[in-house]
């Protein structure tokens, strides 16, 4: 999901479906095909935007997961807001009107309409944009082969964006790793090697976790990431040496968790927590371990707790997404700087950042890149499980007992 709580410099006024389709890329921050977009509203203003992969085809059997997730998300958002949500839905189709001899994805649209009517949800809009036209499924007089794309291109919203030379990235471009700069790569590799050579290599697991959890260097790496939090600082310098330093800290699960928690809360928090509770208590903290049924936990025990459990509990409370925008850029730069084998921890942290920003697709892409480099990377597998449930779903109401848990997105459900 994309959050629109932050004040926008300009209000986009839509007088019809063409204006809505013209405004959609600006509201979501990117463009995408083969996608279904849902815009949630608070009054007359958009509040959140969500993108879901379209099913493989228009066969009703293929849409079951999508309909269940869509119904749950819309109902839960309305319940969380204390009012009925009247969303707008747009289908971005790769199929054309000519190819389909009519509106693409029409059967899916009708199923969505029926399902939401059953849920007593009123749709503000349900439309499709195809390579050769557009149409509102709610318009009984819409031409079968769609309306002209010129209606969107000539919308005041499109014209204003063109005059301002606004460029909206595609979904595929989000999270792209920049080209390797040989000079930076050499500096980062030198910094990383120096730390790896001087680090003690024969210590107990507890001592290792304690050192990584409490070391000032770990805290300073988090502070380096958060050094320029304003949205205008996306291109703030992040030195190659800092890239190597951060990669070193993220090599170990305890260091990774320390940086992640410091990023979500504040840089000093993990160290303060360790000092208050005793660093040794974190020595046995697993990366991802489900609690044992009927386990009895004594005072101060970490049994039944894990890094995954702590992140799953803390992340839904995180609301300051604008603070993360610079981090995604710096992490991408750091990934390009360091050697390939040092990238999994960085990719996993970047996946967490993109997920917290509401972009599950880019989060998947980055955590999968980490697992491709290191198939046994424990942190990456934990992060993949975390991001398999959209952040918005974790923030919403608990599902009915019959669901057995929070709904995963259709893609995640299909991948299990």
pLDDT digits (tens, 9 = 90+) for 236-252: 467 888 888 888 888 88
Higher pLDDT, 354 or 322: 354
CB proximity list for 224: less than 8 A, separation 6 or greater: 238, 242, 245, 246
pLDDT at 415 over 90: no
CATH class (in words) of the domain with range 2-172: alpha beta
Kindly list the domain boundaries of the chain, sorted by start residue: 2-172, 174-411
Q: pLDDT above 70 covers what percent of the chain? A: 73
The predicted structure's pLDDT at residue 90: 96
The predicted structure's pLDDT at residue 318: 75
pLDDT at 296 over 70: no
pLDDT tens string 213-232: 334 555 567 667 666 443 33
Mean predicted confidence (pLDDT) in 44-54: 80
pLDDT tens string 251-283: 888 888 888 888 888 777 777 777 776 666 666
The predicted structure's pLDDT at residue 114: 94
Q: Of 115-119, 303-307, 332-336, give the lowest mean pLDDT range.
A: 303-307
pLDDT tens string 380-393: 999 999 998 877 66
The predicted structure's pLDDT at residue 384: 96
Looking at every residue in the chain, the average pLDDT score rounds to 79
pLDDT at 128 over 70: yes
Mean predicted confidence (pLDDT) in 65-93: 81
Confidence of residue 54 (pLDDT cuts 50, 70, 90): very high
């Amino acid at each position: 999901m994309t959050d629109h709580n932050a004040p926008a410099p300009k209000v986009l006024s839509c007088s019809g479906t063409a204006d809505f389709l013209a405004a959609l890329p600006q509201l979501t921050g990117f463009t995408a095909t083969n996608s279904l977009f849902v815009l949630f509203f608070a009054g007359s203003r958009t509040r959140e935007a969500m993108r879901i992969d379209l099913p493989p085809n228009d066969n009703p059997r293929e849409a079951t997961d999508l309909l269940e997730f869509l119904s749950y998300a819309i109902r839960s958002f309305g319940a969380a807001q204390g009012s009925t949500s009247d969303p707008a839905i747009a289908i971005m189709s790769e199929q054309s009107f000519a190819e389909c001899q009519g509106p693409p994805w029409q059967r899916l649209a009708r199923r969505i309409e029926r399902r939401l009517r059953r849920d007593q949800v009123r749709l503000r809009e349900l439309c499709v944009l195809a390579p050769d036209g557009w149409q509102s499924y709610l318009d009984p007089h819409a031409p079968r082969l769609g309306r002209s794309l010129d209606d969107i291109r000539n919308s005041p919203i499109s014209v204003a964006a063109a005059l301002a030379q606004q460029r909206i990235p595609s979904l595929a471009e989000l999270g792209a790793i920049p080209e390797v700069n040989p000079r930076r790569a050499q500096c980062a590799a030198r910094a990383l090697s120096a730390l790896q050579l001087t680090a003690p290599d024969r210590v107990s697991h507890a001592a290792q976790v304690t050192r990584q959890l409490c070391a000032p260097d770990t805290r300073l790496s988090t502070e380096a990431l958060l050094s320029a939090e304003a949205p205008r600082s996306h291109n703030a310098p992040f030195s190659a040496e800092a890239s190597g330093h951060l990669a070193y800290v993220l090599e170990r699960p305890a260091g990774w968790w320390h940086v992640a928690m410091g990023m979500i809360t504040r840089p000093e928090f993990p160290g303060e927590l360790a000092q208050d509770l005793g660093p040794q208590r974190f020595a046995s903290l697993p990366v991802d371990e489900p609690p044992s049924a009927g386990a009895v936990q004594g005072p101060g025990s970490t049994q039944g707790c894990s890094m995954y459990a702590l992140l799953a509990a803390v992340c839904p409370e995180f609301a300051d997404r604008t603070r993360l925008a610079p981090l995604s850029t710096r992490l991408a730069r750091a990934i390009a700087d360091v050697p390939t084998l040092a990238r999994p921890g960085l990719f996993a942290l970047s996946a967490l950042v993109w997920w917290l920003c509401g972009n599950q697709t880019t989060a998947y892409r980055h955590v999968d890149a980490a697992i491709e480099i290191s198939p046994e990377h424990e942190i990456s597998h934990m992060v993949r499980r975390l991001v398999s449930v959209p952040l918005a779903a974790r923030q919403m109401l608990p599902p009915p007992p019959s669901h057995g848990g929070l709904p995963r997105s259709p893609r995640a459900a299909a991948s299990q």
